[in-house]
Amino acid sequence: MFQSQETQKTKRNWVLFYTVSLMIFINFWASVTTTPLYILELGGRDFHSGLQGTLFFLGAVIFRIYLGPLSDRSGRKIPLLIGAFVFGSTPILLYFARTVWVVVIIRVYQSIGLAAYFASGPAFVGDLAPFHKMGTYMGLYRLMSATGLLMGPFIAISIINHYDYNTWFIASFGIGVSAFLLMLFIGTPKPRSKEKLKFFHKAREVLKDDKLREIYLGIAIFSFASGIVFTFAPVFLDQIATLENSGLFFTIYSLAGILASIVVGKLLDRKSPLLIILFLGLSYGIGMILLSLVSAVSEVMIMAAVLLGTGYAGAVLGLTTKLIKTVSKESRAIAISIQENTIDIFIASGSFIFSGMIPLLGYDVSFILIGILIISVMMLRYSKEKTGVKINKDDK
């Protein structure tokens, strides 16, 4: 009887956590897509739209220096509540914002939520999920992110088109408040250590591990390419390939990511994580090359979206799962903070470098070169594996 009650309590805890995460991701992805448009609505320029995005991700990188150690020292609950509160309160602040620069400042405030929740969320999963089912539980977490990407921008833009931005801000505020209130009822494990952790000191310790450095390298590669896809695929499909419904690309991309989160999560608990990640990396590289062909054969867009969406969601899920299984619990949030900082920095780097490639090489050749680069890295890593380099049992 007691065991049954504990089982029900555990299930309720997971349901609450994944529900809150979905709400957080809906608000996050909606803000990523609508804030640049809202700035233009207020009379801002493309410069201001780009600036708010840069400061948003840069702010998250800076705030994680404090919030990462806080999560490991004080437990997951406080950073998770901070993240939920910030994402919940941001919409009501935007409701009262009437100038471009106020919106920019609010986005810096919102980056606290990005730093807090996106580092502590995976750490929470790593703390409570059974080790032999880590891929499945992490896959469900990534599923919430992919579903939020599918739902958030669609819901936000639909409300804005039918009503206005203020109506969306009120709806988003309602979602955020609900997420914060539900988070209060989620149980989290007690912290293992009360010692005062310094981010850079612990980060150096984490990065001494060769296995973790390789994981971060993989995350950097996929984030670099993802920054290119999210920034330039819409422009390429609209202006170069001149597709009538380019929005279909990200719909398929999101659906493929959702499917990958479910399937890859289960596979990670049964098969070699390394081989799965390498296969998904090859798929991503091929998808990038196919994207360059859309202007000649428009139907290729569907296959490109499937391969890119599956490749990114599945590979990042695999890398995050390996990271959590490899790092100690006491350093888990800091390790994930390094991961999230790697993602943010390399997304920005990908956009910056690709913007310099386009005038020199054009979109088509640039996409092909990035695709070849990713395929080459995956094949080199596979070749290293086949030549007998010893790997961790966790990879088998």
Q: What is the CA 67 to chain-centroid distance, rounded?
A: 18
Buried b (16+ CB within 10 A) or exposed e, 18-56: bbbbbbbbbbbbbbbbbbbebbeeeebeeebbebbbeeb
pLDDT score recorded for residue 283: 94
Compute the distance between CA of residue 278 and CA of residue 395 in angstroms, rounded to an integer: 12
100 in Cβ contact with 50 (< 8 Å): no
Compute the distance between CA of residue 125 and CA of residue 128 in angstroms, rounded to an integer: 5
Phi first, then psi: give them for residue 102, nearest 5 degrees: -65, -40
Domains of the chain: 8-184 (1.20.1250.20), 197-396 (1.20.1250.20)
Residue 247 has pLDDT above 70, yes or no: no
Cα-based distances in Å from 196 to 115, 201, 205, 256, 329: 19, 11, 15, 42, 15
Q: 14 versus 327: which is more confidently predicted?
A: 14
Instruction: Determine what percent of the chain is predicted with pLDDT higher than 90.
Output: 32
191 in Cβ contact with 79 (< 8 Å): no
pLDDT band at residue 167 under the 50/70/90 scheme: very high
pLDDT band at residue 392 under the 50/70/90 scheme: very low
pLDDT score recorded for residue 280: 93
Residue 187 has pLDDT above 70, yes or no: yes
pLDDT band at residue 393 under the 50/70/90 scheme: very low
Compute the distance between CA of residue 177 and CA of residue 89 in angstroms, rounded to an integer: 8
Q: 385 versus 305: which is more confidently predicted?
A: 305
